[in-house]
Amino acid sequence: MSNGGVFHIVFHEPRIPGNTGAAIRLAACTGATLHLIKPLGFDFSDAHLKRAGLDYHDLADLVIHDDIDAMFAALAPKRVWAFSGKSERSFADISYDEGDVLLFGCEPSGLPDSVLTDDRLAGIVRIPMQPGRRSLNLANSASIAVYEAWRQHDFAGGV
């Protein structure tokens, strides 16, 4: 059950257990809530998931949704920012509100067009990188984004 952490990190249909494990640790360390949208490409007994972050599972707030509509319903009316290389708008140009949702696609394809065209999104943003590169690692992208949003709030609750 979500405790309404400062920010919400959402992985849409994640495939790589190590990335989700790292995101569990990220959520625990930042006070964010991690949301996973089914189907998941692994189960929670996966050794890579455990090694990457499940030792933090008692410290992290994790919510699993059956589909994207369930996620939107659970988090309404919060703003949902989709992260995609298909956008020209930098994630750093956003003034994040407490409780904003940071939505990321699966590895390796990112968010599908059906999500990127959803009118419930506040907007689509990208994390800048060098030209000709396909993408950052999913857990790294989530870390960059949640720390920028949290920084804008003076790392409230952090030490």
The answer to whether the annotation marks 127 as part of a ligand binding site is: yes
Residue 135, annotated as binding a ligand: yes
CB atoms within 10 A of CB 48: 15
- Is 144 labelled as part of a ligand binding site? no
Look at the block and give the residue holding tokens 């790292």. 22
Domain boundaries, the chain: 8-106+118-151
At 144, the amino acid letter reads I
pLDDT per position as a tens digit, 85-120: 999 999 999 999 999 999 999 988 999 999 999 999
Paired strand residues for 131: none
User: Contact 24/46 with Cβ under 8 angstroms?
Assistant: no
**Mean pLDDT, rounded, of the chain:** 90
Which of left, alpha, beta for 110 (phi over 0: left; psi -120 to 50: alpha)?
A: left
Model pTM score: 0.91
> Does the pLDDT at position 2 exceed 50?
no
User: In this model, does residue 124 exceed pLDDT 70?
Assistant: yes
Predicted pLDDT of residue 149:
97
66 or 5: which leads in pLDDT: 66
pLDDT of residue 3: 44
Bridge partners (DSSP) listed for residue 83: 125
Is the distance from CB of 53 to CB of 81 less than 8 angstroms? no
d(CA 66, CA 56): 23
**Does the domain made of 8-106+118-151 have the CATH classification 3.40.1280.10?**
yes
pLDDT, one tens digit per residue, over 44-94 is 765 655 555 456 767 788 999 999 999 999 999 999 999 999 999 999 999
Answer for the pair 117, 81: CB distance below 8 angstroms, yes or no: no
